[in-house]
Amino acid sequence: MIEEKKITIDGMAFSLRPIKPLKALVLDKQVMALLVPILGGFKGGDSKKSVLDAQLDMGAIAEGITKALSSLNDSDTTKLVVDLFYGVIYFDKSGKAIEIDVTNIDSIFADDFSIIYKLMFEVMKHNKFSPFKLVGGGSLTNLISGLTDTKKAGTPTGRKSVK
């Protein structure tokens, strides 16, 4: 069973709760439709090494990103983000717990909307979405963790172990 987990991203504290299985299945399908074209740009590589060590086909990656982004209109993008964040709690500077929803998402991420991407990846990883299980050796998890630079709450060094 997936447990609740507290994380910190760029100084912002969140609590990730598990997404209900049927909702997670629908979201996982949407995420796979977006990521599979992008992952086509990663060629080769040893399953024990990071995706960064694999040969990159930048043309295929660019084509995949274009295909993935063009498949979502603005309302679909908003719905995907809001659905992924359902049940995610944000802790403001005073420590007050605020459940993220469509009414407050803009104010929570007003200072740096790039945290939305980082939190989306953390939610997907926490809920064990397919992209984090399908790429050998956890290399997608390693890549995304390196890119998002998140920190596990309560860890003295601020470094989160990656499996």
Q: Tell me the pLDDT tens digit for each residue of 96-138.
A: 999 999 999 999 999 998 899 899 989 988 998 887 776 545 4
Question: Does the pLDDT value for residue 154 go beyond 50?
Answer: no
Question: Does the pLDDT value for residue 156 go beyond 60?
Answer: no
Q: How far apart are CA 9 and CA 118, in angstroms?
A: 7
Question: Does the pLDDT value for residue 87 go beyond 80?
Answer: yes
Can you give the pLDDT at residue 24?
Answer: 93
Can you give the pLDDT at residue 147?
Answer: 44
pLDDT tier, 2 (very low <50, low <70, confident <90, very high otherwise): confident
Which range in 10-14, 45-49, 145-149 is most confidently predicted, on average pLDDT? 10-14
Mean pLDDT over each residue of the chain, to the nearest integer: 77
Residues 6+ apart with CB under 8 A from 133: none
> pLDDT of 13-44, one tens digit each?
999 999 999 999 999 998 888 877 666 666 55
- Three-state DSSP class for 73? coil
Q: How far apart are CA 119 and CA 25, in angstroms?
A: 19
Q: Output the pTM of the full model.
A: 0.69
> pLDDT of 130-145, one tens digit each?
877 765 454 554 554 4
Mean predicted confidence (pLDDT) in 153-161 = 41
> In the chain, pLDDT over 70 holds for what percent of residues?
64
Residues 6+ apart with CB under 8 A from 15: 4, 5, 6, 7, 88, 89, 91, 97
